[in-house]
Amino acid sequence: MTDSFSGPPLGKDPMTSTQKKTLSLQRRPRRNRKNASIRDLVAETHLSVEHLIYPVFICEGQNVAIPIKTLPGQERLSVDQLCLKLQEWKDLGLKHLALFPQIEEKLKDPYGKEALNDQGLLPRALKTLKDRYPDINLITDVALDPYSSDGHDGVVKNGKILNDVSVEILAQMALKQASWGADWVAPSDMMDGRVRAIRQTLDANGFTDTSILAYTAKYASSFYGPFREALNSAPKAGDKKTYQMDPRNSREALLELRLDFQEGADMVMVKPGLPYLDIISQIKKVSPIPVAAYNVSGEYAMIKFAAAAGALDENQAILETLTAFRRAGSDAILTYFAPQAAKLLRK
Ligand code: PBG
């Protein structure tokens, strides 16, 4: 079928001549876009507040809310402030929080021992939140970086990140978090075998109901910058390329999926999100378990700073971005936009 339309003859008013011309087209896809109710009827993808997990930063003190420079609109909150805000977020329909504690520098050491302290910031936050909001799902991160004086996710010896030693500590860390009330533990460390070790340790101690959200395809990415500012957790030396994945690879993500599934993960995650929508889509096609995506700090910052500069409409960009995550195959989305998106979705 050829549709030749070479434009109006020279010298004629283009409107009058195009009005006269009716193309003979069997297919006119625009008919399914002609008004909002038809577009809603045929929409393939749906985004709602149920899909959102809100990552929040917590810090010591009372009545503290410290803005994070590179994450406009996000703050480090003391536990009392977090409790107050949580009422608001809950009213918006949010049901899942991922907690990230900012650990004081003096408490950091090479083994991240503070991660196991029953009197630490994270256990205090978990207990307070669970008391006040028993039906909010609390997700805790399993990795050493916020606690480590080296700023790495595992233990560093002679410039190397040790796998098996780290896994042992991470499994203890997950067990502690479960005992403090975490509903989900989320290993973000990318050590080999950590999901198996965590599942075995949890089960051996009676925490068979604690779920594992595995950071399965977590890439060595430049998009974590604002997060590392928030927690002051950047590596002191080197980078994370010997454990986080190489952005050039996708088949490796399927290997990680197979392992995390076999080792007992309940949900898998792709991170970052936007530059890795292809990975989300590939994983979703074959994953027997739900797939989450992390719309990370750098992705949030891009939209916030672009909108502040007048380059785009912030609210539309947020909803378009989150919808793209769903279209690619994400069941759940971790995003700093969660409360703002929840408000937009209510309208
Ligand atoms: C810790 C961790 C990181 C993020 C989540 N958990 C940082 C890192 O791996 O360096 C990044 C999240 C974000 O950028 O929003 N392992």
* Tokens at 201, concatenated: 């340790």
Residues whose CB is less than 8 angstroms from the CB of residue 176 and which lie 6 or more positions away in sequence, other chains included: 115, 116, 118, 123
Does the annotation mark 271 as catalytic?
A: yes
Question: Of the candidates 292, 165, 162, 130, which has an alpha carbon nearest to the alpha carbon of residue 217?
Answer: 292
d(CA 85, ligand 1 centre) in Å: 23
Annotated domain spans of the chain: 48-346
Which element (helix H / strand E) includes 295? strand 291-295
CB of 111 closer than 6 A to ligand 1? no
- pLDDT (0 to 100) of residue 3: 53
Buried residues in 22-56 as b, exposed as e (16+ CB within 10 A): eeeeeeeeeeeeeeeeeeeeeeeeebebebbbbbb
d(CA 162, ligand 1 centre) in Å: 19
| Candidate of 103, 188, 228, 274 to mutate for ligand 1, largest count of ligand atoms within 8 Å of Cβ | 188
pTM recorded for the entire structure: 0.94
- pLDDT (0 to 100) of residue 13: 63
Give one word for 329, left, alpha or beta, with left for phi > 0 and alpha for psi -120 to 50.
left
Does the annotation mark 343 as catalytic?
A: no
So what CATH class is 48-346?
alpha beta
3-state SS class at 289: coil
Residue 311 buriedness (CB in 10 A; 0-12 / 13-18 / 19+): exposed
| Candidate of 224, 229, 245 to mutate for ligand 1, largest count of ligand atoms within 8 Å of Cβ | 224
Angstrom CA distances, 313 to 14, 35, 151, 317, 338, stand at 33, 22, 36, 6, 17
- For the chain, the residue count is 347
CB of 166 closer than 6 A to ligand 1? no
Question: Of the candidates 256, 344, 340, which has an alpha carbon nearest to the alpha carbon of residue 295?
Answer: 340
Q: Which residues pair with 269 in a beta bridge?
A: 215, 292
Residue 247 buriedness (CB in 10 A; 0-12 / 13-18 / 19+): middle
Give pLDDT tens digits along the chain (347 positions). 445 555 555 656 656 655 678 999 999 999 999 999 999 999 999 999 999 999 999 999 999 999 999 999 999 999 999 999 999 999 999 999 999 999 999 999 999 999 999 999 999 999 999 999 999 999 999 999 999 999 999 999 999 999 999 999 999 999 999 999 999 999 999 999 999 999 999 999 999 999 999 999 999 999 999 999 999 999 999 999 999 999 999 999 999 999 999 999 999 999 999 999 999 999 999 999 999 999 999 999 999 999 999 999 999 999 999 999 999 999 999 999 999 999 999 98
